[in-house]
Amino acid sequence: MVTNRILDYDELNECLDILDNIKEEEPIGTTRFGYPIRHFTFGKGENHVIMTAGTHATELISNHYLIHVMEELNKSADLLDQNKYTIHFIPILNPEGTIVTTSAIRAKLKRGCSLKEEQDFCKRWYTCCKLDDETGSVIKRKYEMFQKVDANCIEEKHKALREHIKHLTETYRLPQGSIIQWTANGNGINLNDNSPSNVYLDKKRRGIPRYLNDDPNGLNLSVPNPMGTICVQDEFCFEKENEALLELYQSVATNGNLIGSIIYHSCGGLVRYLEDLKELNNPWRTDITKAEYRYNTNVASAYSTAAAYRMIKTKAYNTVSSKLESTYPGTILVELGKIRGNPFGQFINDNGMFDEMLTMNDKALIRCIETMYQEFQKFESLKGKTLK
């Protein structure tokens, strides 16, 4: 069961294996190194909602949160009307990244370590992140905490993935300890940045380095790295995880009412919603109507009010999430937790912070789905009117 204890890849899957009121569907796809992207559904209504977590593997709180939601629905099925809704869950969108990150965690925090040990570790990590951010430090204090941890922390059963991470580490001289921030998939690709509209694609093609925080001693985002680059080759292609995800959205939207979707990330306590950037051309769609923007804003606002999260418009169309937001009305991106320090910070439970994060988001999620339904109805009736 999900609590504020950190679970590794196997443990997250074990939580998923025992949900008997949630149906497991065929995986939406398989990653390069052969890991299934598991897909679950709750309910059998004609109104569909898609929820994903863990696009960025180091944002481990998002996997934990979404599995917690599944556990709640498994326990109390009447939280949502099963005849009205079908909820699709992709709780581990990036299995390879999750294996890498949680293997690095287990090098420091063994299964069965005490709660106090784990909480103290999370707080130490949080402090390092805060100092790193504030001082713009070149030698990352947080990487020092993982100085002796490398790809050898990944178990033998993940050998192909492990060897590839070693290969990337050597080829691109990745900083020691940076494995703990493995946000990318096994190819070192950032799944949200893996977009043909990414404005840095040209820089990458021409082999021009692009450093994180403009720090030449930091990670070079133009090549595979823990935070992830845009794509493997110079010519753009979607990673397998994204191909599978885009296919899922398309098939759900074609076969039923896709009334909205929630993409879970962390951190910041924010709800990101569809930009209306008049100064930029939206590469995904140029015909988004006022009614669609309103739909999206109202869905985002329902979540943000109930969770007490700030609403924010992102400033570019660089990402896969911007494609989903532009294509499917009612799609929002939620940044869980108001505290920094992926992958540990959000697990700190001082003053019940973690527990409160769960309750507030549970409330927000139900409110948000109800709003998606209302907005979808409004939108459809409007469409009917303009057709007539």
Binding site for Zn ion (CB under 5 A): 56, 59, 265
CB of 354 to Zn ion, least distance (A): 19
- For tokens 């139900």, the residue is 366
With respect to Zn ion, which residue has the nearer C-beta, 59 or 241?
59
Q: Provide, rounded to whole angstroms, the least separation between the CB of residue 59 and Zn ion.
A: 5
57 or 258: CB nearest Zn ion: 57
Q: Locate 50 and state its tokens.
A: 């898609």
Cβ proximity to Zn ion: between 57 and 259 the closer is 57
Quick one: angle between helices 353-387 and 290-307, nearest 10? Answer: 160
Strands 85-90 and 40-42: antiparallel
Instruction: Report the nearest approach of Zn ion to the CB of residue 286 (Å).
Output: 27
Least Cβ distance, residue 53 to Zn ion (angstroms): 10
Q: Give 240 or 265: the residue with its C-beta nearer to Zn ion.
A: 265
Least Å distance, CB 291 to Zn ion, is 29
Comparison of 56 and 140: residue with beta carbon closer to Zn ion: 56
Give 56 or 164: the residue with its C-beta nearer to Zn ion. Answer: 56
Residue 204 or 272: the one with the smaller Cβ distance to Zn ion is 272
Rounded-to-integer distance, Cα 325 and Cα 262, Å: 10
Cβ of residue 313: shortest distance to Zn ion, in angstroms? 16
Cα(94)–Cα(56) distance, rounded to whole angstroms?
Answer: 7
Nearest to 270 by CA among 239, 230, 313: 313
The amino acid present at 44, given as its one-letter code, is K
Q: For the CB of residue 56, give the shortest distance to Zn ion in the complex, in Å.
A: 4
CA 339/CA 345 separation, integer angstroms: 6
Q: Least CB distance from residue 361 to Zn ion, whole Å?
A: 16
Hey, what are 21's tokens? 């009121």
Q: Which two tokens stand for residue 238?
A: 């979607």
> Please, what sign has the CA dihedral across residues 122, 125, 131, 136?
negative
**Which residue is listed with tokens 């989903």?**
324
- What is the C-alpha separation between 53 and 249, in angstroms, rounded? 15
Distances (CA, A) of 305 to 32, 34, 332, 361, 368: 39, 40, 14, 10, 10
Q: Of the two residues 43 and 186, which places its CB atom closer to Zn ion in the complex?
A: 186
In 3D space, the residue among 379, 373, 366 whose CA is nearest the CA of residue 305 turns out to be 366
**Nearest approach, Cβ of 80 to Zn ion (angstroms)?**
26
Helices (DSSP H) in the chain: which residue ranges?
9-17, 60-75, 95-108, 115-135, 141-144, 159-171, 201-205, 240-255, 290-307, 320-327, 353-387
Cβ 103 to Zn ion shortest distance, Å: 20
Residue 68 or 265 having the CB closest to Zn ion: 265
Cβ contacts of residue 80 below 8 Å, gap of 6+?
42, 43, 73, 87, 366, 369
Which amino acid is residue 84, in one-letter code?
K
Identify which of residues 37 and 259 has a Cβ nearer to Zn ion in the complex.
37
Instruction: Record the tokens describing residue 245, joined without a space.
Output: 């995800």
